């Protein structure tokens, strides 16, 4: 499973508003879930439950909230940028402005971990993080991620 095949401009949401983790996850679920034929409330519940196990913040303004949820045939990824930073309670981490939300079918644990690993790998690139925080539109976000994923062999 390659992340560049799972990311598309239709699932990139820029300049969302939220004040805390749950409202941030709800903002993404509200716009992302209907296209997947999932109930936003169920998605938020699963993401919050996972977040309670430990922060998904990876530092420098980024987080990778993720969960396994019934009703999906394959992994789905949404990318969202928030106008203001949100405290994801990651020890010593900056407030989060950009999230990669990963939803996976429960019967694909290996693919789920592979996608999370690939996202973490591309986010190690400082120039990519900068591009994602300043991108003018969804297409620019996707191009930047796909470029880095290709360079990394992902």
pLDDT in the model for residue 24: 96
pLDDT in the model for residue 88: 86
Q: Residue 9 gets which letter from DSSP?
A: G
**How far is 141 from 148, CA to CA, in rounded Å?**
11
**Per-residue burial over 54-65, b = 16 or more CB atoms within 10 Å of its CB, e = otherwise:** ebbbbeebbbbb
CATH number for 3-151 (one of 3.10.20.90, 3.40.930.10, 3.40.50.720, 3.30.365.10): it is 3.40.930.10
Tell me if 29 sits within 8 A of 67, measured CB to CB: no
**How far is 129 from 61, CA to CA, in rounded Å?**
9
**Of the residues 4, 66, 93, 112, which is catalytic?**
66
- Is 66 one of the catalytic residues? yes
Residue ranges in the chain modelled with pLDDT below 70: 90-92
pLDDT in the model for residue 91: 60
> What SS3 class is residue 123?
coil
Domain ranges of the chain: 3-151
Contacts for 22 with CB less than 8 Å, ≥ 6 apart? 44, 48
């Amino acid at each position: 499973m390659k992340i560049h095949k799972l990311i598309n401009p239709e699932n990139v949401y820029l300049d969302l508003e939220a004040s805390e983790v749950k409202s941030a996850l709800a903002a993404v679920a509200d716009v992302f879930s209907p296209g997947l034929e999932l109930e936003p409330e169920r998605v938020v519940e699963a993401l919050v439950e996972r977040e309670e196990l430990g922060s998904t913040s990876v530092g420098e303004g980024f987080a990778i909230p993720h969960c396994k949820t019934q009703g999906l045939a394959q992994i789905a990824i949404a990318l969202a940028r928030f106008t203001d930073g949100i405290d994801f309670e990651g020890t010593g981490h900056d407030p989060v402005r950009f999230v990669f939300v990963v939803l996976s079918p429960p019967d694909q644990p290996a693919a789920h971990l592979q996608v999370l690993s690939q996202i973490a790998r591309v986010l190690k690139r400082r120039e990519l993080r900068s591009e994602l925080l300043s991108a003018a539109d969804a297409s620019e976000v996707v191009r930047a991620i796909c470029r880095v994923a290709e360079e990394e062999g992902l």
